[in-house]
Every structure is written in C-alpha cells, then in structure tokens.
Amino acid sequence: MAKIYPIVKYGDPVLARTAAIVTEFGTPELKQLLADMFDSMIAANGVGLAAPQIGISQRIAVIDCSPRDQPPDRIVLINPEILHTAGKQSEEEGCLSLPGFRESVTRPMHVTVRAQDAEGRWFERTGEDLLARAFLHETDHLHGRLFLSHLSSLKREMIKRKVKKLQNEGEW
C-alpha cells in the first residue's frame, strides 16, 4: 500500500541538515520508501522530492520531469554527486517545502549526475533544462540547501519575512 507523506516545510531543521549516506540497498524497506516518495511527489504535484522533505534525513531523491502527455521517466538518485555542469539557464523555480513562492534562479543548462539506484548500482545521467535543474535542486536538498541559497540576500530575506508572518498566523 502506498503511503502519502506530508511535505515538511521550510523552517523545519531537517531541511537544513546534511542527510546521511545510504549504505543498505535492495531492501524491501528502501523499495517501499522509493515507491512512497514517488506517490507523495505526484500527490503534491511535484517533479522532484528529496527524503528530508518527508522528514527522512537520508541521501535519497526521486525525480520525474517528463511532460504529462509523455510516458513517465522515473529517476531515483541515491547518494548523488554532481560530476559536471555546463551552460546557463534562468527560470522560475519552486519547491514543495516553500509552497507559494517561486523565483527566478540561474543554474547550469547541462548537468551530469552520478548516483546509485535502489540496488546500489552506480550510474551517470546527463540532463538539460528542467532535468538539469532538478538534479541540482534535489542534490542541494540532501546537503541542507534550498533554492533560497541561490537568491540575492534581499529576495531571500523577503521570503523569510513572509514565511515568518505566515508562521505567526498559523498558516505555515
């Protein structure tokens, strides 16, 4: 049975922590967690989800950036490392842990990631555009970084103030 996890929001310390390296692979628990992460991501209308966003501080992320009218392209990243980046893109970026906030973030256009799959096998994959952005965004999560860290301090402080206000109002 699938479990839909609630998404942890900005302000929770788990999002600011460096997640632990995964050392056990191929277990039923890991497979269930990955299935639940995909279901939770889809339920939240996201294209990527990192384990800290469901309160689990382990280096695991799932991504599916495929267009809605195309077959799914489910990518599991465990212990990911960014190997290579090239080019530049500026697009609006959001995060399930910062609902309601989207900002333009400049990122590389091409990104090669190295990661392990559910069985522990290492693989490399190169993405461009949205997929490149997702590789970086999700890998950032596993090191305690949100897209806020790529904004100007002015914009970052503005968002922090708005979040604080929402927290005070009990709406966060």
Using CB under 5 A, list all residues that contact Ni ion: 95
Active site residue 138: yes
Amino acid at 94: G
Q: How far apart are CA 93 and CA 104, in angstroms?
A: 6
Distances (CA, A) of 73 to 43, 50, 142, 150: 16, 16, 21, 27
Judged by beta carbon, residue 11 or residue 120, the one nearer Ni ion is: 11
Min. distance of Cβ 15 from Ni ion in angstroms? 9
Q: How far is the CB of 68 from Ni ion (least distance, A)?
A: 20
Instruction: State the CB neighbour count (10 A cutoff) for residue 40.
Output: 21
- By C-beta, is 30 or 105 nearer to Ni ion? 105
Cα–Cα distance measured from residue 58 to residue 37, given in angstroms and rounded to the nearest whole number: 13
Task: Tell the smallest beta-carbon distance from residue 105 to Ni ion (Å).
Answer: 11
Our CB check for Ni ion shows the closer of 20 and 44 to be 44
Could you tell me the two tokens for 150? 């790529």
> Measured at CB, which residue is nearest to Ni ion?
95
Residues paired with residue 62 on neighbouring β-strands, in sequence order: 49, 76
- As measured in angstroms, the least distance from the Cβ of 81 to Ni ion is 18
Task: Give 95 or 159: the residue with its C-beta nearer to Ni ion.
Answer: 95
Check: CB of residue 50 under 8 Å from CB of residue 44: no
Catalytic residue among 138, 157, 169, 171: 138
The residues that are catalytic are 138
